[in-house]
């Protein structure tokens, strides 16, 4: 699978992360409103974030998960991130964006680019994402990029910034138009 190191899009750029991105990631990742629907504890220091960036480099090199930083075209500063985790014939996406840049279409632009890229790969016939049932903004992003709500996942995961109780999530999916043919070709 050929994985682009970067994507040049209309308003944003996606590129591989660097350790020097940690302060900018920490800025938005520690924002309670940004992290509200995340399934990880709120960031309180840079060290766990630096370790996560190192781990992401290993996962990239192993072909397990790809992680890109979202930047504005005119700046190299991280304003968000998007990931794509590969498993068998499917890919899971996830994204996060600095609150200062919400409502401008950047998450939609990034997610569409990654979903389109993933579905162009011979090995991938299905891209999926989950989002909390109350995360209206993420629901809109997923629907705008052509993903369809497949089902509700009851008690799917906890959202530490909301409560310690398991919460429901929606499963959104987009299937390759050539998915069946791609699966047969890939198995032979």
CATH number of the domain enclosing 69? 3.40.630.30
Residues of the domain holding 19: 6-187
Q: Establish if 133 belongs to a structural domain.
A: yes
Tell me how far apart the alpha carbons of residues 58 and 60 are, in angstroms, rounded to a whole number. Answer: 5
Give the residue from 94, 111, 118, 82 showing the smallest Cα distance to 1: 118
Q: How many domains does the chain have?
A: 1
Name, in order, each residue with C-beta under 8 angstroms of 116's C-beta and a sequence gap of 6 or more.
Answer: none
Reported pTM: 0.91
For the stretch 64-117, pLDDT in tens is 999 999 999 999 999 999 999 999 999 999 999 999 999 999 999 999 999 999
Q: Establish if 1 belongs to a structural domain.
A: no
Q: Establish if 144 belongs to a structural domain.
A: yes
Q: Establish if 56 belongs to a structural domain.
A: yes
For the stretch 49-76, pLDDT in tens is 999 999 999 999 999 999 999 999 999 9
What's the alpha-carbon Rg for the chain, to the nearest Å? 16
């Amino acid at each position: 699978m050929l994985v682009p190191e970067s994507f040049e899009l209309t308003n944003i750029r996606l590129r591989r992360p660097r350790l020097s991105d940690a302060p900018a990631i920490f800025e938005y990742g520690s924002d309670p409103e940004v992290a509200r629907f995340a399934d990880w504890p709120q960031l309180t220091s840079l060290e766990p974030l630096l370790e996560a960036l190192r781990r992401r480099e290993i996962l990239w090199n192993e072909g397990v998960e790809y992680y890109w930083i979202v930047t504005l075209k005119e700046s190299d500063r991280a304003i968000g991130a998007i990931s794509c985790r590969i498993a068998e014939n499917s890919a899971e996406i996830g994204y996060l964006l600095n609150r200062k840049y919400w409502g401008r279409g950047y998450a939609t632009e990034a997610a569409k680019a990654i979903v389109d890229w993933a579905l162009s790969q011979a090995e991938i016939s299905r891209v999926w994402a989950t989002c909390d049932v109350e995360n209206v903004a993420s629901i809109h992003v997923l629907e705008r990029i052509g993903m369809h709500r497949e089902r509700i996942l009851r008690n799917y995961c906890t959202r530490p910034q909301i409560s310690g109780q398991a919460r429901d999530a929606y499963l959104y999916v987009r299937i390759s138009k050539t998915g069946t043919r791609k699966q047969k070709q890939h198995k032979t």
